């Protein structure tokens, strides 16, 4: 035990003198958490504050134009402008405004759109009631929507689908009204369509909640655990670098000629870096709890099970350190380990939902992400933070990370044994 203390002392000193490594492990994630949370918070507000800028030019004096105007205004999605500097724009001017990205959407409703629809419906209904088999030719009626070319495809699809749904609803109501009017003329019994709703089936869409808790994380709830995991995995650079440097400068071989086993050597590194990882978690969580509110962000709610949190952080640390030890033993040079380590962590983070929350990922990406240890960790933290989950709920995630770490350690030991002893 006394000898082992000297190994711990060595690894502690080496780490303390590695200023660049310490900056990478502590400063980088602290800055990243704050910056990313602030950035995502503003996007979050942009969406929730219903501020998709829309320029509406309504030249229709009829009911359709008025209804579209009213529906868009009350939808809660758009910030609707109707004029610029007191002037109503032409179709060309509207297109120019949207093309220059001042507005995300531009809608142009031409004159007499309502009348055109009414005429078409009247002709259609009349033809239907008079038993004509050939349907009448209808006037072309419609409006133009301009979309900012820089808007994302997913956003474009969502908006178009909403607009299509709303215009169809209005059209349907007109058809109903017109049928009702025509029927009134030929039927002795008055038929009223008042009160008939286009929505007979009511679909109640809600965000999934448990015990009143919202399952969609806020930027703080997502970023703090996500970047903590990212930071803990970035230990790989420093840890694998330390292993490779010792191997290259010969001090590792000197240690092995002493009464010191490879297991002791590895265990000492694992203990020192586990402590570092736990400090990283504590630091970033404290930033989430105390610093984020000072910057106008939410405060991080740490859940109601400290034990679950400790088990999750510990198993995340084991996974990260195991990975670092494996890379340190497999890579031949520091350059190899730092490049491979950094790239693999970035990939794990990307597919694991660190940068983009998993709930907005496509299905194939969600499936690929299942192989990232960061996903397991993040999923566990989300359960603790959002659902107040206890130890039992996070055991699968913790177990996966522990297993990953142990497998990595086993690979490292096997690789080292075979290479060092040439067996």
Partner 1 sequence: MENKFIIETVDLKKTYKGKLHPTLNGLNLRIPYGSLFGLLAPNGAGKTTAINVICGLRKYDSGKVFIEGYDLSRDLKAIKPLLGLVPQDIALYPTLTAYENLKIFGGLYGIEKPLLEKRIDQLLELFDLSASRNSYINRFSGGMKRRVNMVAGMLHAPGILILDEPTVGVDAQSRMMILEKLIEINRAGTTILFISHYLEEAEHICTEVAFMDNGTIICQGHPGDLIDAHKPCGSLESIYLKLTGKRMRDTQ
Contact 239, 271 (CB under 8 A): no
Q: Which token pair is 423?
A: 């067996």
Site string for partner 1, 245-264 (x = CB under 8 A): -x--xxx-xxxxxxxx----
- Start-to-end C-alpha separation, the chain: 30
Nearest 5°: the CA angle 138, 143, 148 is 150
Stretch that binds partner 1, among 13-21, 161-169, 379-387, 401-409 (CB under 8 A): 13-21
Q: Do residues 105 and 146 touch, judged by C-beta distance below 8 A?
A: yes
The contact pattern for partner 1, residues 221-250, with x = CB under 8 A and - = no contact, is: -------------------------x--xx
Nearer to partner 1, 111 or 249 (CB): 249
Q: Three-state DSSP class for 56?
A: strand
260 or 275: CB nearest partner 1: 260
398: nearest Cα among 324, 321, 327, 309: 309
- Minimum CB separation from partner 1 for residue 256, in Å? 6
Q: What tokens does 200 get?
A: 């007979």
Q: Of 401-420, which residues contact partner 1 (CB under 8 A)?
A: 420
CB of 341 to partner 1, least distance (A): 20
Q: How many residues does the chain have?
A: 423
Q: How far is the CB of 27 from partner 1 (least distance, A)?
A: 19
Q: How far is the CB of 2 from partner 1 (least distance, A)?
A: 7
Q: In this structure, what DSSP letter does residue 84 have? A: B
CB of 302 closer than 8 Å to CB of 389: no
Residue 241 CB, nearest approach to partner 1 (Å): 12
SS3 at position 356? coil
Between 197 and 263, CB nearer to partner 1: 263
Size of the site for partner 1 (CB under 8 A): 27
CA 300/CA 246 separation, integer angstroms: 40
Q: How far is the CB of 334 from partner 1 (least distance, A)?
A: 13
Applying CB under 8 A, the residues found at the interface with partner 1 are: 2-3, 5-7, 9-10, 13-14, 17-18, 246, 249-251, 253-260, 420-423
């Amino acid at each position: 035990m006394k000898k082992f203390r000297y190994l711990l002392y060595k690894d502690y000193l080496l780490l303390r003198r590695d200023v660049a490594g310490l900056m990478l492990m502590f400063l980088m994630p602290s800055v990243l958490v704050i910056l990313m949370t602030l950035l995502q918070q503003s996007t979050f507000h942009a969406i929730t504050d219903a501020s998709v800028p829309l320029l509406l030019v309504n030249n229709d004096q009829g009911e359709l134009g008025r209804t579209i105007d009213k529906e868009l205004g009350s939808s809660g999605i758009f910030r609707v402008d109707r004029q610029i500097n007191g002037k109503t724009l032409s179709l060309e001017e509207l297109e120019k405004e949207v093309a220059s990205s001042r507005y995300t959407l531009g809608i142009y409703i031409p004159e007499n759109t309502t009348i055109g629809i009414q005429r078409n419906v009247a002709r259609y209904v009349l033809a239907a009631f008079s038993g004509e088999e050939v349907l009448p030719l209808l006037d072309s009626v419609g409006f133009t929507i301009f979309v900012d070319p820089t808007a994302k495809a997913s956003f474009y699809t969502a908006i178009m689908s909403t607009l299509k749904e709303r215009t169809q609803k209005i059209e349907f109501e007109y058809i109903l009204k017109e049928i009702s009017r025509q029927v009134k003329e030929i039927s002795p019994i008055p038929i009223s369509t008042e009160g008939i709703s286009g929505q007979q089936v009511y679909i109640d869409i809600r965000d999934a909640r448990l015990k009143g808790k919202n399952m969609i994380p806020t930027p703080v709830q997502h970023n703090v655990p996500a970047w903590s995991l990212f930071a803990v995995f970035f230990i790989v650079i420093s840890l694998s670098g330390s292993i490779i440097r010792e191997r290259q400068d010969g001090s590792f071989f000197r240690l092995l000629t002493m009464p010191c086993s490879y297991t002791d050597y590895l265990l000492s590194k694992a203990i020192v870096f586990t402590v570092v990882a736990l400090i990283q978690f504590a630091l970033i969580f404290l930033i989430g709890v105390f610093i984020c509110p000072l910057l106008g962000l939410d405060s991080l709610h740490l859940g109601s099970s400290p034990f679950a949190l400790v088990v999750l952080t510990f198993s995340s640390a084991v996974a990260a350190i195991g990975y670092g030890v494996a890379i340190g033993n497999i890579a031949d040079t520091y350059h190899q380990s730092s490049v491979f380590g950094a790239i693999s962590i970035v990939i794990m983070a990307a597919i694991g939902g660190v940068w983009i929350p998993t709930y907005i990922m496509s299905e194939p990406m969600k499936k690929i992400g299942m192989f990232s240890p960061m996903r397991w960790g993040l999923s566990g933290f989300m359960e603790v933070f959002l659902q107040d989950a206890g130890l039992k709920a996070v055991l699968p995630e913790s177990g996966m990370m522990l297993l990953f770490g142990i497998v990595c350690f086993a690979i490292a030991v096997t690789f080292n044994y075979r290479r060092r002893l040439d067996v």
